[in-house]
Amino acid sequence: MSLEKKLEELANSQKPYSKFCAYQMVLNSMPDKDKKVLDEAWSKGLSANIIVKALRAEGYKTTPEAIRLHRKGVCKCPKN
């Protein structure tokens, strides 16, 4: 396959750009019940590492770093 065709194929297969970070995308995909449980976990002071392990066990894909950046407000999410 030529480089030109490979680049075109990869460009066409890319997911649409999101204005939200990976962690916000996870939050947006969660049912309200899980969002409430997650809010309670933050209120209890659980670490990002513990929360990531629980999220991954439930099939959500995120990283401790994505969570930390989001919570600090330095991720790519729109700022008010």
Please name the residue that has the structure tokens 């729109």.
Answer: 78
Nearest alpha carbon to residue 42 among 62, 78, 67: 67
For 67, the token pair is: 């969570």
For 75, the token pair is: 């991720």
pLDDT in tens, 16-60: 777 898 899 999 999 999 999 999 999 999 999 999 999 999 999
- Threshold 0.85, pTM exceeds: no
